[in-house]
Structure 1
């Protein structure tokens, strides 16, 4: 049994998305002690910003006429696509940055789409369980001043679910900056409750993923 884990937080210490994803991974492996976890960390090892453009134009270039850079870009896209296709379940850690996903995650999606198996009109992740673990520094729920300002997770859910065909579960943690932001001090109790709920949902999701691929 294989779980593919994609981390995208630029923080390695104190990253809520990484910690909640840890909980999901742990619960998954508790159900499958012999299972494997394949990890890719875009936060510490980001893809080159120009990789997408190179891979995209390679798709319009006859194979025998591609430059070395185009050949390398196509090979990288294939490697990224293979990681997803080999996985029984997938979890993506996606903290909210500037009201959207990180540039590293956007580049990853764009590059994967250049692989013909992930082109629009295909559903390569059909039958696979996919979790998105999102961490937001503030509050974006119904009735809050920034309701609707999260422009990343809905888009990512569309890609992983509606475009690629995966069965998507979203695990949300909010108010993650309350502990370190004086202006949010009155929200710290609520933030702790939300974080606990996020870990609980992550654990339940990990167990459910393990059962679904058994």
Structure 2
């Protein structure tokens, strides 16, 4: 039975979020294809994981037998998150752009699961090659050729961390211009926003089905 690790990080609830409806569309299709499967869900906005502390960080580079009680507790919390990732056949992440970057809650999750000798720089890594679908929503457009292309740090960063560092198989769905309905200065871009939203929802369904077929092959 396939396991999907679904992570949302939008600070907004479903009705106001641009990324959550798209991750939901992917998840619904995934569940239809895997009726006996498992979905592990983490909403980092409502239930954030601890930011990396000195105890949690140092414990990752030392013998567990030498850990202080504080280091042992902090490291156990990291290991629990890593084990969730290691047990997933696929990962789904909602990663909206806030101030040109990812939410701090998602950064905290990444800092916890990136562990030298286990999730990277490890020949026996259990996560290498795991497919990850990222819904990278953003208020404007940062696509190649646009004026703000150089400010696109979400896909750039996540590709560097998830693909280049952890060896995961990363794919993106990018709903953009999501601020158009709220910003009067972007009114003329509303049709482009609507088209981007519909395309993202379609992509979510299509990619979930394609991933199901790929994992079953």
What is residue 179 of structure 1 aligned with on the other side? 181
Is residue 10–residue 43 contact of structure 1 (8 Å, CA) maintained in 2?
Answer: yes
Moved more, 178-187 or 66-75: 66-75
Cα distance in 2, alignment partners of residues 53 and 152 from structure 1: 26
What is residue 162 of structure 2 aligned with on the other side? 160
Cα distance 1:177–1:44, how it changes in 2: closer, same or farther (>3 A)?
same
TM-score by length of 2: 0.91
Once the two structures are superposed, the pairs formed by residues 1-214 of structure 1 within 5 Å of their partners are 1-13=2-14, 14-49=16-51, 51-114=52-115, 116-122=117-123, 123-214=125-216
Write the deviation string for residues 61-120 of structure 1: whole angstroms up to 9, x where unpaired: 442332222111111111111111111111111001110111111111111113641133
Corresponding pairs, count: 213
CA-based RMSD: 1.6
Moved more, 121-130 or 171-180: 121-130
Larger relative contact order (Cα-Cα within 8 Å, sequence gap ≥ 6):
1
Cα distance in 1, alignment partners of residues 137 and 42 from structure 2: 18
Is residue 6–residue 40 contact of structure 1 (8 Å, CA) maintained in 2?
Answer: yes
Structure 1: gaps of 5 or more residues:
none
TM-score by length of 1: 0.93
